[in-house]
Every structure is written in structure tokens, then in C-alpha cells.
Copies of this chain bind each other. A is one copy, B any other.
């Protein structure tokens, strides 16, 4: 397993162009989606939604506002936009959080009360998350967890990927509202990720020396 993990981490790179003739099997892509679905998040609140964009007309519309995905969008086997849930959902006293703890997390009333207090403490003091922007960024940070997990699991299955942040968010959000029927008062865009099979060899991977990145306090 250790060798397979290291091989997968080295295999993964930001693949800019995919072979449009090669499609990920339904079985493999379901594993990638299940990876997102089972990913952890702060308080387990799953503040995300994933849009799998297979319609090529929709991909072309996205491409027009995505300077970082010009080659990936037309060639990827599967293309995912990752949304985060905004303050509307995520504020400690929202109806949604109460509903979520009761109906998704199946918590008893006392646990809901206690956890709500924790979330309130966290949002009010620890990260000063009381303005909408801070709540939105907190939720958006969580979405980088399934992003990472999907890419790593894809690599373990020898599937290539490319994370994409290079888009004009305001223009993309207009498209998502109009053509994807997403309520942009409730959701924001975190990032995108393309999956498929490479056409070009990957470049040598560069990293800082590990001793510059990891500090031990023994």
C-alpha cells in the first residue's frame, strides 16, 4: 500500500489536456464521487454541492469565463464544479443547521443544543466568523477537502485530474444561476476539477525541500 500511495502522489499532476476519446468507467467515477460524499468537514456539516458537467454546450459556456481551463473543459472525461454553502445555510442559528443536525446527523435534541452552542462559540469568538464573508470562506475552505480526496483517489485509480481556480467568479456565477438553476444567494463557487486521461507526459514535480515545510518540536 505504501508504494501505491507514493506512486499515486507522484502520478498526480495538474493535467492540462486530456484524451477526449478516453472515458472514465462509471464504476471508477462513482468511487470518485463517493470519495467526495464521504469527505469530512467542520462539524460534519457537508457545506458543499458538486455539479458534474457532461453537457458540452454548458462546458463551452463555462470555458468562456475560465481562463485556467481552456484545454481541460473540452477534453475531460468528467468535469466537476464545487460549490460551497453560504452564510444563509452556515450561520449557527440558521434553520438549515438545526434541520441538518436532526435529519442528517440524527442527533437527539440535547446533542443538537450542545453542538449548536459549540458552533456559536466557534463562529462568534474563535474565528470571528460573524460576517457573511467569513462564514462563506469557512465553508469554502471545507470544500478543498473533497477536492483533495477526489484527486488523490483518482490517482490511486490511475486517473488524471486538474484543479482549476482560474475563472472570473462573477461571470461564472451568472452562468450557474441562469443555465444551472443554482441559487447564488445560497451557494458560491469554490473551484473546479477535471478528470480524464493525459495526452502529454507530466513535467518533473518540484517541491520545496521537506525540511523547509515541516518543523519538528520534540
Q: Write the residues of chain A forming the contact surface with B, with a CB cutoff of 8 angstroms.
A: 1-2, 4-6, 9-10, 12-14, 27-28, 31, 33-40, 42, 44, 46, 48-55, 58, 67, 104-106, 118, 121-122, 125-127, 137, 140-142, 144-149, 151-153, 156-157, 163, 165-169, 180, 190, 205-208, 210, 213-218
Contact = CB atoms under 8 A, between A and B. Distances in A.
Contacts of A44: 14, 206
Q: How many copies does the complex hold?
A: 2
Contacts of A157: 1-2, 5
Contacts of A34: 6, 9, 210
27 contacts: A1-B156, A5-B31, A5-B156, A5-B157, A9-B35, A9-B149, A13-B40, A33-B210, A34-B210, A36-B214, A38-B205, A40-B163, A42-B163, A49-B215, A50-B214, A50-B215, A52-B214, A52-B216, A54-B218, A104-B206, A106-B206, A122-B165, A122-B166, A127-B169, A148-B149, A152-B153, A180-B215
A80 to B, nearest CB: 9
